[in-house]
Amino acid sequence: MEEEIVEYILVNTELGMGIGKTAGQVAHCQTIIDLHYSQTEDYQTWITTIQKKIILSGKQKDLEKWLEAGAVEIRDKGLTEIAPNSLTCVGFPPQPRSNLSALTKRMQLLK
User: Could you report the average pLDDT of every consecutive run of 10 residues in the chain (111 residues)?
Assistant: 91 98 98 97 95 97 98 96 97 97 95 94
User: Cβ neighbours of residue 70 under 8 Å, at least 6 residues apart?
Assistant: 92
Return the pLDDT at 2. Answer: 78
Is residue 93, in this structure, part of any structural domain at all? no
Return the pLDDT at 1. Answer: 63
59 is in which domain, residue-wise?
Answer: 1-9+16-82
Is residue 88, in this structure, part of any structural domain at all? no
Is residue 72, in this structure, part of any structural domain at all? yes
- Give the helix ranges, DSSP H, for 38-107: 41-47, 60-68, 101-104
Is residue 99, in this structure, part of any structural domain at all? no
Is residue 38, in this structure, part of any structural domain at all? yes
CA distance 75 to 87: 5
Is residue 104, in this structure, part of any structural domain at all? no
CA distance 44 to 86: 31
Q: What's the predicted TM-score (pTM) here?
A: 0.95
Is residue 105, in this structure, part of any structural domain at all? no
Is residue 90, in this structure, part of any structural domain at all? no
